[in-house]
Structure 1
């Protein structure tokens, strides 16, 4: 239960709405109890009055009370749902923003140990599970407790012994039933949460790899795994439903036994002189109505195990300390251009002992264009990630304009760099929204211009900038995704351009057009470009050949060809291919 405390503190901001929702829930329960109790007494009293009391019995006052209780119950129920759900949605919104604000500084270094499907499940499903804490646990529990107190006090004016017996049985049921079914539901509740996360992870991986699985005929094996997990999840949910039905059955039996007990004790109570027999009906109907308040409580604690496990999973994620911490303010001078210096740089990914970069040194003057070449795994993309401070180096130093990269605040660093990564992130939003991520204040005409420059004007044919991109840009080809990333970089216009294979997936003509565009717009910019192609290398000021995390050759295109080293071998191999 201690895992819930950090999240309960977040609810203070919305405490007034949640408290008002609780008050309205109690008013609804009391109005429902009053309606059934008064109706039962009214029917019993009318039957005893008979035709002889047709003119002496006051029918109007009880009838008005029944109608008033019904109206109050309906109105209170409406506003209770309105207020409590509004409060709950606001809490969920706050939780999501809080969770994302904690996750963002962790990316990517602090999140490398988690799979994407697992992160998605924690951010979506586990946060959703915390919704049950108020609506299905705290609100029903507090409402039932206050109803027991009010009902016991009200009935005590008629008969203190019967009121104490009724209140005692209800209080005992309130204490025992949740505990019993919480114990019974721990295992299945945790299974539901765990299997739901596993199912979401498997489904995400299956959908993202469907094309490859179809090609190599492994899709049936994945479908079987997914089906097996689905069956296990359905079985765990069935166990929860069975426990829910058992809790309701137990409460029904207790309610019936209590009513029978009250009727028997009431019959003994009527043997005393001067007792009104209609009060026995009042007690019986009041017990029936009051036990309805316990209905949600008995089943609510079946959800608490899922809530606690979700809270623990989120806490495990949120308690991680960021591996990269930016200063709040930067001492970087607002000079034109970026000159960088990398000194004795070494880096190994978390959990790996073999360094990806090992004593690397590199300098780039303002406006210089540098290409990084090398076999896969030699550390080219890793170097770009270190230049964006996605990770901090294990040893060595990176400086921009003579200032260590650790002393740059995040806002200044992001404003001064334009990055095109291998994997282009697109959101399930419009074309306009995805482009505005690079420059939020861009006008529609500017967005259209960069699309035309990158050869993506066909994306405007149907709905223009309102064209829906789909999840991950599923409607786009690999080349279109890459050109869209370049369009973002054109909008951002940073002083340092970090390009990771910007022309991958493009045909020769389009590649040449994009490279000419890049040289034109980055004329006075510093460019570090990772590539596996020969195109455009003759335009680079310097080419650095990397191997085993180090730069083993560097120079211009013509200089490296005359060396007859790795670069010449690289060019010969690509020419043959």
Structure 2
């Protein structure tokens, strides 16, 4: 149960709403109790008075109508208030979880699959809404109602009220402990199989082409079906336990009511108190109505605890890279150097970067050229502090990289990845990611500069790009990426295969555009291609995590080494 304590802390953000919802729940139950008890007393008194008896029928009827109106109004209001508070708490929880796991990347990908991370961020957080709505609230309300009803009945009949209070509290405690033990393990297994099912389904869908080619689709489908059957079996088991809990509670309700009738009938001697037998009966019935949701509460508690444990495993990890809170102010130009860098990925035997040194002046344009796995992209990750080298050091403007704050480092660097991601949003929103406070006029100027003026013809910046920018070509994706780095106005550009997957003509256009717009900025481009490299200041040939050749295009061609041979191998490394 201790694993739930960090998530209970989020209640304070909406404590007033939760408290209001709690009060409304209690008022609803008390209105229901009043409705039942007054109805019982009304029926008993009317039967006792007879047809010609002196009995005021209007007063209890009005009380019943008022209680019914209060119950309906408070129940609707309580649902609105508590659900709004819960959804806001889940929002804070999801943001908190995302903030905690963001510094773990990319190292977290070595321990968790992307689907598993998504499940923990979405499904496990969603499961925790049961903690507030279906676990805490029903138990707290049941305890308050039992104590309140016992206190009120104590004014009428102390012996009966104390007996009822002790009996119902005992049933609540024993009932909760008994079914919690049975449901806990089932809830954990449901959470595990749910996660396995979603991971396997994602694998089947995302890798369907490869599975079809190698004839493995049927085997993966059978594996998915088996996981689903196990998931359904445990869900059925949980439902059976829930039904059993409801049945046991109904049995206890009947036995308690019988016991109440026996005590009332044997103790009430005075004729004036005979009609109170119905009041005691319906009051007891109302108390058990407050206990009924507790059966469902412990049905969900197992899943809540399992989800909390899974989230704790993720968010309690320490990041490999820690940024200082303060550091130098962002610079307008960047000169960087690396000295004898050594870096090896976890669980890898061969280093990705090995004894690498480099010095780049401000405004210089260089290319890192090499085959797949030579360490080019890893070098860019070290420059952005996605990882820290195990040996050696990197400096920006003579200051060691670990001394720069994250905000300063992000302000000085702009990255164009292999695949520019387009969010399912408008053209404006996709560009404001790079510069949130820039105006529309500047955005339009940049779009014209990178050759995307045709996107402004119809709906302008309100153009909806859709999920992943499916309506855009590969060249337009990259031009949006270039527009982002221009809006960001960073002095250091890091380009990781910026022309990946493009045709030769579009590739040449993109590279010429980058070199032209990157004048005055430090530019580092990772590439497999040889196009436009003659327009760069220097070219570094990488192999096995180090530089084996370096120089300008002309110098490397004169050396007749690896770079020279690349030009006679089709222009692709």
Higher alpha-carbon deviation: 141-150 or 81-90: 81-90
> Which is worse superposed, 221-230 or 458-467?
458-467
Q: Which residue of 2 aligns with 1:482?
A: 478
Offset, 1:110: 4.5
Match of 1:63 in 2: 61
- Of 338, 352, 356, the residue aligned with 2:352 is 356
- Contact between 1:533 and 1:574, CA under 8 Å: does it hold in 2? no
Q: Deviations over 1:243-299 (max 9, x none)?
A: 2211111111111121122223333234x3445322222222222222110110122
1:50 maps to which residue? 50
Pairwise CA RMSD? 2.2
Displacement of 1:453 in angstroms is 4.2
Separation in structure 1 between the aligned mates of residue 215 and residue 453 of structure 2, nearest angstrom: 37
Q: Which of 560, 569, 572 is equivalent to 1:573?
A: 569
Name the SS of the counterpart of 2:299 in structure 1.
coil
1:328 aligns with 2:330: no
- 1:538 aligns with 534
Q: Is the 8 A contact 1:486 1:502 kept in 2?
A: no
Deviations 1:405-434 (A, max 9, x none): 111111221111111112433333222212
Aligned to 2:202: 204
1:376 aligns with 2:372: yes
Which segment is superposed worse, 384-393 or 207-216? 207-216
8 Å CA contact retained: 1:110, 1:323: no
SS of the equivalent of 2:112 reads coil
Work out which of the residue numbers 496, 501, 508 in structure 1 matches 2:504.
508
Report the Cα offset of residue 169 of structure 1.
Answer: 2.5
Q: Distance in 2 between matches of 1:282 and 1:329?
A: 68
1:302 alignment partner, one of 295, 299, 302: 299
In the aligned structure 1, how far is the partner of 2:469 from the partner of 2:204?
Answer: 17
Question: Contact 2:328–2:408 (CA<8 Å) still a contact in 1?
Answer: no
- Cα 1:81/1:145, change in 2 over 3 Å: same
- The 8 Å contact of residues 366 and 526 in structure 1, kept in 2 or not, is answered as yes
* Equivalence for 2:425: 429
Q: How does 1:380-459 map to 2 (within 5 A)?
A: 380-457=376-453, 459=455
1:240 to 1:427, Cα distance in 2 relative to 1, 3 A? farther
Does the 8 Å contact 2:528/2:572 carry over to 1? Answer: no
Structure-2 change in CA distance of 1:492 and 1:206 (3 Å) = farther
Whether 1:103 aligns to 2:98 is no
Contact 2:330/2:408 (<8 A) preserved? no
Q: Which residue number in structure 2 is paired with residue 155 of structure 1?
A: 153
Equivalent-residue separation in structure 1 for 2:330 and 2:199 (angstroms) = 45
Q: 1:229 aligns with which of 227, 230, 233?
A: 227
Q: Which residue of 111, 120, 123 corresponds with 1:125?
A: 123
Alpha-carbon distance in structure 1 between the residues aligned to 2:402 and 2:152: 69
| Structure 1 residue 550 displacement after superposition | 0.5
Is 42-51 or 109-118 further displaced after alignment? 109-118
Deviation at 1:232? 2.4
1:289 lines up with 2:295 in the alignment: no
- Deviations, residues 315-348 of structure 1 (Å, cap 9, x unaligned): 11221122211222222573x4211111101111
SS at structure 2 position matched to 1:440: coil
Q: In structure 1, what is the equivalent of residue 490 of structure 2?
A: 494
Residue 169 (structure 1) aligns with = 167
Contact 2:475 2:506 in 1 (8 A): no
Cα distance in 1 for residues equivalent to 2:365 and 2:89: 50
Aligned 8 A contact 2:367 2:524 in 1: yes
CA contact (8 A) 2:330 2:411 kept: no
| Inter-partner Cα distance in structure 2 for 1:462 and 1:202 | 42
- Listed one character per residue, the Cα deviations across residues 200-258 of structure 1 (whole Å, up to 9, x for unaligned) are 32333344334544555544443333333233222222222222211111111111121
SS in 2 for 1:376: coil
1:473-514 CA deviation, whole Å, 9 max, x = no partner?
445454443333222222223211111111111112211111
Alignment of 1:178-257 (within 5 A): 178-214=176-212, 218-257=216-255
Q: Which residue of 1 aligns with 2:7?
A: 7
Corresponding position of 2:310: 313
Aligned residues: 573
Instruction: Write out per-residue CA displacement over residues 164-196 of structure 1, whole angstroms, 9 at most, x where no aligned residue.
Output: 332232112211122111111112201121122
Name the residue aligned to 1:32.
Answer: 32
Identify if the C-alpha distance between structure 1 residues 489 and 226 changes in structure 2 by more than 3 Å, giving closer, same or farther.
farther
What SS does the corresponding residue of 1:354 show, helix, strand or coil?
A: coil
Per the alignment, do residues 459 and 370 of structure 1 end up closer, same or farther by CA in structure 2, a change over 3 Å counting?
same
| 1:6-27 deviation digits (Å, cap 9, x = unpaired) | 2222322322221221121111
What is the distance in 1 between the residues matched to 2:572 and 2:392?
A: 39
**Deviation digits for residues 54-113 of structure 1 (CA, Å, limit 9, x no counterpart):** xx2111221121112112212221222222222212221221222222222222235542
Distance 2:572 2:395 in 1: 39
SS of 2:495's partner is strand
- Residues 543-563 of structure 1 show CA distances to partners (whole Å, capped at 9, x for unaligned) of 111111010001111221222
Q: Does 1:264 align with 2:297?
A: no
2:275 maps to what in 1?
Answer: 278
SS state of the match for residue 524, structure 2?
strand
**What is the distance in 2 between the residues matched to 1:472 and 1:221?**
31
